[in-house]
């Protein structure tokens, strides 16, 4: 299990701040709160991960989303470093009680700005379920565009395969404000 603090890179991961959120590397003490969020029906519907070791995968940089001192979710990115295909991919989840308040949008914008301005990525991808209209709306509001449907992309909680929507954002398309 690649748990919090398992990588030397985490010690070098910055703390990022948005209008509502603070994003910091996940600490061991955050894991129970994050696992509880993953078990919430509205989160589990889209994530299908209820143990931290299935979220915190090697090669990803993972932040706890903090609002008013409380852990309300997680956002992570992974980088493709091959210079001919260089880009980043993002995933996130936010506690049900924190949804609809702009918290996910703020967290995502902060990470996108970091990936583009600091890590010099020109392209970022995200891949929600085609049925996750709320997430797709947020992503489009930030500048992501739909690329196409990946058929039978992931297995749902019911065991059935469902389609994923590949979305991309180019640096010049980011809605920064």
In the chain, where are the structural domains located?
Answer: 8-173
What pLDDT, on a 0 to 100 scale, did the predictor assign at position 48? Answer: 73
Task: From first to last of the 177 residues of the chain, give the pLDDT tens digit.
Answer: 334 444 445 558 899 999 999 999 999 999 999 999 999 999 988 887 666 665 666 788 999 999 999 999 999 999 998 999 999 999 999 999 999 999 999 999 999 999 999 999 999 999 999 999 999 999 999 999 999 999 999 888 778 899 999 999 999 999 987
- The predicted pLDDT at position 11 comes to 58
Cβ 74 vs Cβ 92: under 8 Å: yes
**Cα separation, 5 vs 136, whole angstroms:** 32
Give the pLDDT score at 3: 41
With respect to CATH, is domain 8-173 assigned 3.10.20.30?
Answer: no
Burial of 84 (0-12, 13-18, 19+ CB in 10 A): exposed
Place of tokens 């308040």: 101
What pLDDT, on a 0 to 100 scale, did the predictor assign at position 7? 43
């Amino acid at each position: 299990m690649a748990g919090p603090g398992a990588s030397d890179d985490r010690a070098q991961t910055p703390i990022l701040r948005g209008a509502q959120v603070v994003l910091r590397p996940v600490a061991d003490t955050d894991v129970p709160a994050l696992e509880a969020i993953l078990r919430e029906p509205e989160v589990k519907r889209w994530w299908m991960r209820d143990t931290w070791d299935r979220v915190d995968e090697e090669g990803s940089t993972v932040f706890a989303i903090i609002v008013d001192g409380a852990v309300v979710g997680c956002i992570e990115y992974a980088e493709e470093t091959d210079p001919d295909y260089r880009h980043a991919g993002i995933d996130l989840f936010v506690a049900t009680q924190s949804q609809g308040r702009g918290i996910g949008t703020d967290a995502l914008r902060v990470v996108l700005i970091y990936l583009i301005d600091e890590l010099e990525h020109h392209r970022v991808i995200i891949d929600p379920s085609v049925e996750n209209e709320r997430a797709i709306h947020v992503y489009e509001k930030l500048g992501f565009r739909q690329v196409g449907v990946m058929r039978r992309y992931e297995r749902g909680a019911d065991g059935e395969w469902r389609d994923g929507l590949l979305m991309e954002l180019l640096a010049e398309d980011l809605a920064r404000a």
